[in-house]
Amino acid sequence: MPLNVLLLGPQGAGKGTQATRISSEYDIPHVASGEILRAEMAAGTDLGNRVRDVIGRGDLVSDDLMIELIRARLEQPDTDAGFVLDGFPRTLVQAEALDSILSGIGRSFSVVFSLQIPDEVAFERLRRRAQLEERADDTDEAIQRRLDLYHEETEPLIEYYRTRGRLVPIHGDRSENEVFAELQSALEQVPA
Ligand code: AP5
Ligand code: MG
């Protein structure tokens, strides 16, 4: 059975960090909406140039554009054994579209993790990351905007997935290793 994993959580919760580990441990591709967009920006494609300002402000890219990007990515043959999805869906419209994308390729989520951390911790982590990495949206203003949008648009998806089953809440304000150990023990329960 393919292992299809979704990571939900606010900015700085560790979605990218933990998805990278799941991807290498279980040998499934890490599909990260933000990484796809940053690669387009770095390559200077039309798409990258179109989204640059939106991302820099910490706003959301349009649902239509994101849905088509993720649809195309999940239809690639390297997802046959499964995938770990990070950064999508972020709105109810995206979640509903994802349901139809997945049923179109005969899939459903094996597990949906909700990584939870307080906003203060998110802020602290992203400020630290801003000193180490070059991410245009790790400014105080854009971090606040992203967190506000998370609470308004994305947090309701926790309830969306809870009512559909397979939601596993994870306390994210612990060391990377402790969080990963908990994810792994939940992944061991997934029927093979
Ligand atoms: P995206 O790239 O998805 O960024 P994000 O949601 O802002 O989330 P982050 O990447 O900041 O957080 P993360 O949870 O991955 O944390 P990480 O592991 O890096 O999106 C960027 C932008 O693209 C959006 O704002 C939007 O404009 C656009 N976009 C993307 N998807 C979209 C969509 N579906 N719809 C519309 N627009 C979309 O960890 C953060 C830091 O904390 C790191 O430095 C890490 O080392 C550290 N850390 C991680 N875990 C721990 C730990 N346990 N203890 C201490 N430090 C830790
Ligand atoms: Mg990330």
* Digitized pLDDT (tens) for each residue of the chain, 192 residues in all: 899 999 999 999 999 999 999 999 999 999 999 999 999 999 999 999 999 999 999 999 999 999 999 999 999 999 999 999 999 999 999 999 999 999 998 999 999 999 999 999 999 999 999 999 989 999 999 999 999 999 999 999 999 999 998 899 999 999 999 999 999 999 999 877
Q: Would you call the peptide bond into 169 cis, given omega within 30 degrees of 0 as the criterion?
A: no
Known catalytic residue at 135? yes
pLDDT of residue 157: 98
pLDDT of residue 146: 97
Buried b or exposed e, range 78-96, using 16+ CB within 10 angstroms: ebeebbbbbbbbbbeebbe
Query: Residue 40 has what pLDDT?
Result: 97
Ligand 1 centroid from CA 34, angstroms: 8
Residue closest by Cα to atom 49 of ligand 1 = 14
Identify which of 28, 7, 24 has the alpha carbon closest to the alpha carbon of residue 16: 7
Mutate to test the pocket of ligand 1, among 7, 8, 11, 143 (most ligand atoms within 8 A of CB): 11
Q: Is the CB of 13 under 6 A from ligand 1?
A: yes
- Please name the residue whose Cα sits nearest to atom 26 of ligand 1: 60
Task: Return the bridge partners of 31, or none.
Answer: 85
Considering the candidates 52, 135, 166, 174, report the single residue annotated as catalytic.
135
Spatial separation of the C-alpha atoms in residues 53 and 26, rounded to whole Å: 35
Asked whether the whole model's pTM tops 0.85, one would answer: yes
| Cα–Cα distance list, 113 to 49, 61, 86, 98, 168 (Å) | 32, 23, 10, 16, 5
Q: Are 113 and 34 in contact (CB under 8 A)?
A: no
The whole-number pLDDT of residue 192 equals: 72
pLDDT at 1: 86
Residue type, 61: V
